Amino acid sequence: MKIMKKLIAGNWKMNGSLAANQTLLQELIEGFPLQPACAVAVCVPAPYLAQFRALVQALPGLSAIDLGAQDVSAQVSGAFTGETSAAMLKEFDCRYAIVGHSERRQYHFETDALVADKAKAALAAGITPIVCIGETLAEREAGRTEEVVKRQLAAVIHTNGHCISEIVVAYEPVWAIGTGKTATPEEAQAVHAVLRAQLKAATDHSDRVKILYGGSMNAANAASLLSQADIDGGLIGGASLKSKDFLTIIAAASA
Ligand code: 13P
The answer to whether 133 and 152 have CB atoms below 8 angstroms apart is yes
CA of 173 to the centre of ligand 1 (A): 10
Expressed in angstroms and rounded, the spacing between residue 195 Cα and the centre of ligand 1 is 19
| CA 209 – CA 123 distance, rounded (Å) | 14
CB 104 within 8 A of CB 59: no
Domain that holds residue 159: 7-15+22-30+37-254
Pairwise CA distance, residues 56 & 35, whole Å: 17
pLDDT of 3: 63
- Whole-number pLDDT of residue 178: 87
Q: What are phi and psi of 209, to 5 degrees?
A: -85, 120
Residue 71 belongs to domain with CATH number? 3.20.20.70
pTM over 0.95: yes
- For 146-162, what is the mean pLDDT? 97
68 within some domain: yes
pLDDT band at 253 (very low <50, low <70, confident <90, very high): very high
Tell me whether residue 146 is in a domain: yes
- Whole-number Å distance between alpha carbons of 101 and 81: 20
Residue 178 lies in a domain: yes
Burial-class residue 222 by CB neighbours within 10 Å (0-12, 13-18, 19+).
buried
Closest atom of ligand 1 to 177 CA is 4
Q: State whether the beta carbon of 36 lies less than 6 angstroms from ligand 1.
A: no
Tell me whether residue 158 is one of the annotated catalytic residues: no
pLDDT score of 181: 85
- For the segment 212-224, the average pLDDT, to the nearest whole number, is 97
Mutate to test the pocket of ligand 1, among 14, 172, 212 (most ligand atoms within 8 A of CB): 172
What digits encode the pLDDT tens for the residues 230-251? 999 999 999 999 999 999 999 9
Q: What is the pLDDT of residues 22-64, one digit of tens each?
A: 999 999 999 987 677 999 999 999 999 999 999 998 998 899 9
Q: Is 100 in the pocket of ligand 1 (CB under 6 A)?
A: no
- Tell me whether residue 160 is in a domain: yes
Residue 1 lies in a domain: no
Residue 243 lies inside a defined structural domain of this protein: yes
Q: What's the confidence (pLDDT) of residue 172?
A: 98
C-alpha to C-alpha distance for 63 and 79, rounded to whole angstroms: 34
pLDDT given at position 180: 83
User: Comparing 136 with 36, which gets the higher pLDDT?
Assistant: 136
Task: Please report which confidence band the pLDDT of residue 255 belongs to, taking 50, 70 and 90 as the band edges.
Answer: confident
Q: Ligand 1: distance of its center to the CA of 233 in Å?
A: 13
Ligand 1 centroid–CA 79 distance in Å is: 31
If DSSP codes are grouped into helix, strand and coil, which group holds residue 8?
A: strand
The average pLDDT across 198-202 equals 96
205 is catalytic: no
